[in-house]
Amino acid sequence: MSDVCQSCGMIMEVNNYGKNEDGSENKDYCRYCFPNGSFGKNETMEEMIESCIPFRINDTDCPDEEVARRKMMDYFPNLKRWRKIT
């Protein structure tokens, strides 16, 4: 199974991993979400979803904006960054 960014859900391959403060790879987050030891943008899950929609449209299972939004609203709460600790 491929690694998935625990912030935006992007499938990560070599060179897509984020960086920790010391420059080492961060296997939880992609280079767009976690470029230098912290999240690049301080945003809510809903803001993240809106910014990801253009990248998800035309995926095999996301033909339009509404489908992409609905799928991410279901999926993102399971990602580490957005998971609610109870």
pLDDT digits (tens, 9 = 90+) for 6-61: 999 999 988 899 999 999 999 999 999 999 999 999 999 999 999 999 999 987 78
DSSP state of 81: T
What is the pLDDT at residue 61? 84
Rounded to whole angstroms, how far apart are CA atoms 32 and 28? 12
Residue 83 has pLDDT above 60, yes or no: yes
User: What predicted TM-score, i.e. pTM, was given to this entire model?
Assistant: 0.87
pLDDT of residue 86: 47
DSSP-assigned letter for residue 9: -
Confidence check: pLDDT of 64 > 50: yes
At 85, the pLDDT band (50, 70, 90 cuts) reads low
Tell me what pLDDT residue 1 has.
44
